[in-house]
Amino acid sequence: MKSCHRLSALALLCLPIVIGCGSAGESSATAARTPAVSIDGSKFLLSEEPDGAVGVITAREEAEDGMPLVMVGRIGGSDKPWIEGRAAFMVLDASMNVVAEGEDSVDGEICTGDCCATERLACTALVKVIDSEGQLIAVDSRQLLGVKEADMVVVEGRAQKDKSGNFVMLANRLFIRR
């Protein structure tokens, strides 16, 4: 009888020990961390919309390297338009619409999938917000400027273009249309 008692007690005692054994769960991999905001983003924001803004498609075609430029576009054109931890993002020409990957698209619409990757290149541009020394600001644009996806922005700065057709908008300031 005692042995029965001991066996059952042992079984119950062993249970939590067994539960406690084994390797601890490995932490899941983390994405790139964004440093805390330490730069005042308001100095990059315009209170009034600048004049003479051109669309992304026009800017890509007509802008010259180093020339001052005012460009208007909607933040997006990619499944992830943000550069994590940097004041840089993608803008899409205002005349274009984005549909979900796999959906049928008509003229003026592109999807965020890889099937439209080449088409997207012609109507999207990378915007880099730079400081007075021309350096890209290492703070996520969502935190620095308070912008969010699909915001219409008017960007003031200069064009950076090379012979291979790569076009980047180096922005000094921007206006958010809301």
Partner 1 sequence: MLGQRLLPWDYGVRNLFRRPSRSALTLGGLTIVVLLVLVVVGFIRGLEKSLSATGNPNVVLVYALSSAADIENSSIPGRTPSLLAASVDGVRRQYGVEYVSPELYLGTRITTANMTEPGMGLVRGVTTTAPLVRGQVQIVEGTWPQAGEVMVGRLAHSKLGADKEDLAIGEQVTFDGRTWTVSGHFTAAGSAFESEIWAPLAELQITLKRQDLSLVAVNMDSPERVADVDLFCRERIDLELKAVSESVYYASLQKHYKPVRMLGWVVVALVAGSGIFAGLNTMYGAVVGRIRELATLQALGFRRRAILLTLVQEATLLACAGALVACLVGLVLVDGSAVRFTMGAFMLSVDSVGIAVACSVAALLGIVGALPPAVKAMRLPVVEAIKSI
**Binding residues for partner 1 (CB under 8 A):** 1, 4-5, 7-8, 11-12, 14-15, 18-26, 28-35, 83-86, 88, 90, 113-115, 117-118, 121, 126, 128, 136, 138, 164-166, 168
Residue 67 or 117: which CB sits closer to partner 1? 117
> 108 Cβ partners below 8 Å, 6+ apart?
95, 96, 97
SS3 per residue for 22-73: CCCCCCCCCCCCCCCCCCCHHHHECCCCCCCCECHHHHHHHCCCCCEEEEEE
Residue 31 or 178: which CB sits closer to partner 1? 31
Report, in Å, the least distance between residue 48 CB and partner 1. Answer: 29
Report, in Å, the least distance between residue 164 CB and partner 1. Answer: 4
φ, ψ for residue 63 (rounded to 5)? -65, 145
Report, in Å, the least distance between residue 105 CB and partner 1. Answer: 17
Residue 18 or 106: which CB sits closer to partner 1? 18
Q: Which helix (H) or strand (E) holds 156?
A: strand 152-161
Residue 17 or 48: which CB sits closer to partner 1? 17
Find how far residue 10's CA is from the centre of its chain.
57
And the tokens for 133? 């020394």
Cα separation, 63 vs 149, whole angstroms: 25
And the tokens for 58? 């026009």
Residue 47 or 135: which CB sits closer to partner 1? 135
Closest CA to 101 of 88, 116, 87, 90: 116
Report, in Å, the least distance between residue 57 CB and partner 1. Answer: 14
Residue 65 or 177: which CB sits closer to partner 1? 65
